[in-house]
Chains A and B, each alone.
Chain A
């Protein structure tokens, strides 16, 4: 494979697509999949076949389009690729699919209902880099990905650029780790590039475990080649020839599509030996997690890849110095790596022009909870929470009032309404006691109890602690018990002090990030919603009516 062949393949596919009257893509991301997208796809294919239009109309599956709340989503694109007419249908079931086929595809009369408005802020306010192709391409069809520009950045890198130049672009882009901590990606890469070792490794961390987060899943099952290309670019820049994608077993669709993608890429020598006829070799293998949240922590993840028990170990040595199998290792999150092809293709300076002073580019968020448009969105860094929740997200359903936004999962915190105009970037979120995290954003309204939320996340950490260090293993048990006591209306004022003292211990003394950040949901709710704790303790009442204390206030007192 060389540049001419790559371009010819892509051009041939684009031309073939352009000759069709209609190109119909059915969202088969995990959300739509669970709502019966496969049936919709089969129905459309059947109808098109029955009408004898298989040459004129192409029907294919695509990855996640983001508007998961309104699945199944079906897009009909008509006319030449540039300037095509687009119709996006929402809430499509097999019955609607039959109508789309008969009225729109056969008779040329688009349906008047089940339409999504493309000028809706949900679409208009987004800026897609990571998700630029997801939702359009067929993730199981390499040619469809090539037509959308896949592997062009890798080709450019290995034939025109030195590894140092690729690294320089990533550094110039200002990209920071999307796993949550926000460590500068260029700096991490250059540490691995400089490290001495017989072999080096690139690991893609797809062990997304935060409750309510599904960004990485959607990227992996919507555009797996982008992640593979990002890994290969990383391998080229740091001098690694072997990559591992670590995906959790709970993402079977992502695993399936990754397997297909790797096989397809190897067949065209986009992965493997002598990529694009250069001297660069890069192989990717999949490692499947076994269900432990802690395996998202980099040292535990590496132990798991090595086939050992997934327990973290103290750092230093950092993975960049001594990582997988004792060799220098680069570990990046799925979304971080998915940004890289665009950066190499369009330049670091282009990327650095998006976002805020210290947080560059865009961020993918998984909107969940009490928000109208639950689903996946990508917005520039610096967009305010208000814009994300009330414009892109469509606000709170049922006319209820906003109470808090939870970011960062069990390591993050709850942000109250008074901070709604906060620009979303790493520093701003940290300043109000939460974190950017990997992108889970759970919206809560007045029916959510903040003590209950804190108790939920502490329960999660209690279950997911690996059990190695004492503060995390035994401290989360005690904190969870205290929160349960308060929620049940049996709390005392002293319990708040005990909680804070334990939170201090866990934060300072735990071995890894899981324990160190486990108190954050408690601390942030104590900071912004102390009145709710006090209502549970002093008045034996749950203001949101969630905890037992609200329902059985009198009983509890007696």
Chain B
């Protein structure tokens, strides 16, 4: 295994060749906010929260999809980057109807955690309050588009881990929505196996199990992806 050395926030670090900058940060204990990324799924570089500055490059790099290279100088927490991250999270809150107090994921939500960690206590952008529908046609699960941040974790887990590819994104721009099959009600989906992986990886309360009260969606465990991966690739069946 060859190793590259780079500078992370002024500190020399080493990384295995081919590692992403996000992995380097995680291994070095540098906290970088993420939303669309989830260990065990492919990376799409969509949420733009893990953007970092690379010395000598005009453009910012999304750490999750940028490979560590010899001699790179990375800055992860400049004033500008922090400002962008706050803006992005504020834009998400303004985009749909995120009302924590009545959300099943209250207290267990990645978006909420992000906002708290970035010190966001109010939103400066105009709330869009779109009129979205809720799909409760599935016998066990509910899709509440009001809480969806379009991270596509559900799309990827269904395609890459479950192999069903029930979920995908339909529409464009602010009108994008995750859909099951060809936008059929979830309960009528022919491809859905009912495995619930999408519910487990959903960062917010957009996908949840039925019969949950506000704050009740406690059971999400995202580490199962690592467990599945270890089981499949290393034949280790321990949790």
Interface residues of A (CB under 8 A from B): 292, 309, 311, 313-314, 462-471, 473-478, 481, 498, 501-502, 505, 508-511
Per-position 1/0 for B93-104, Cβ under 8 A of A: 011000000000
On whether the beta carbons of B47 and A481 are closer than 8 Å, the reply is: no
CA distance A481 to B172 in the complex (A): 18
On whether the beta carbons of B175 and A509 are closer than 8 Å, the reply is: no
On whether the beta carbons of A462 and B174 are closer than 8 Å, the reply is: yes
Q: Which of B25-33, B83-91, B184-192, B213-221 contacts A (4 or more CB under 8 A)?
A: B83-91
On whether the beta carbons of A509 and B60 are closer than 8 Å, the reply is: yes
Given A463-B172, A474-B94, A477-B95, answer yes or no on A468-B84 (Cβ-Cβ < 8 Å): no
Given A313-B45, A314-B65, A467-B150, answer yes or no on A505-B173 (Cβ-Cβ < 8 Å): no
Those of B24-55 within 8 Å (CB) of chain A: 44-48, 51
On whether the beta carbons of B92 and A470 are closer than 8 Å, the reply is: yes
Interface status of B9 (Cβ within 8 A of chain A)? no
Further 17 A-B residue pairs, CB within 8 A, beyond A498-B124, A510-B48: A292-B172, A314-B65, A465-B172, A467-B171, A470-B149, A471-B48, A471-B87, A473-B95, A473-B176, A474-B95, A477-B95, A478-B94, A505-B84, A505-B88, A508-B80, A509-B51, A511-B46
Interface status of B62 (Cβ within 8 A of chain A)? yes
Q: Which residues of the partner chain A approach B94 to less than 8 Å between Cβ atoms? A: 474, 478
- Closest A-B pairs by Cβ, 8 of them: A467-B176, A474-B91, A314-B45, A465-B173, A474-B95, A314-B65, A509-B48, A505-B87
CA distance A509 to B84 in the complex (A): 8
* Interface footprint category on B: 20 to 34
Closest A residue, CB atoms, query B80: A508
User: Which of A463, A498, A509 has most B Cβ within 10 Å?
Assistant: A509
A10 to chain B, nearest CB (A): 47
19 A-B residue contacts at CB 8 Å?
A: A311-B169, A314-B45, A463-B172, A463-B173, A465-B173, A466-B172, A468-B46, A468-B150, A469-B47, A469-B48, A470-B48, A474-B92, A474-B94, A474-B174, A476-B173, A477-B95, A478-B91, A508-B60, A509-B84
CA distance A502 to B125 in the complex (A): 10
Q: Which residues of the partner chain B approach A474 to less than 8 Å between Cβ atoms? A: 91-92, 94-95, 174
A-B contact count (CB 8 A): 92
Q: Which residues of the partner chain B approach A478 to less than 8 Å between Cβ atoms? A: 91, 94, 125-126
B216 to chain A, nearest CB (A): 28
On whether the beta carbons of B48 and A464 are closer than 8 Å, the reply is: no
On whether the beta carbons of A469 and B87 are closer than 8 Å, the reply is: no
Q: Which residues of the partner chain B approach A501 to less than 8 Å between Cβ atoms? A: 87
B60 to chain A, nearest CB (A): 6
B162 to chain A, nearest CB (A): 19
On whether the beta carbons of B47 and A470 are closer than 8 Å, the reply is: yes
Per-position 1/0 for B110-135, Cβ under 8 A of A: 00000000000000111010000000
- Our pick among A469, A502, A505 for the contact of B46 (Cβ within 8 Å) is A469
On whether the beta carbons of A466 and B48 are closer than 8 Å, the reply is: no
CA distance A466 to B173 in the complex (A): 5
Given A467-B169, A498-B124, answer yes or no on A477-B51 (Cβ-Cβ < 8 Å): no
B64 to chain A, nearest CB (A): 9
CA distance A511 to B50 in the complex (A): 12
On whether the beta carbons of B172 and A464 are closer than 8 Å, the reply is: yes
Q: Which residues of the partner chain B approach A510 to less than 8 Å between Cβ atoms? A: 48
A125 to chain B, nearest CB (A): 37
Q: Which residues of the partner chain A approach B173 to less than 8 Å between Cβ atoms? A: 462-467, 473, 476-477
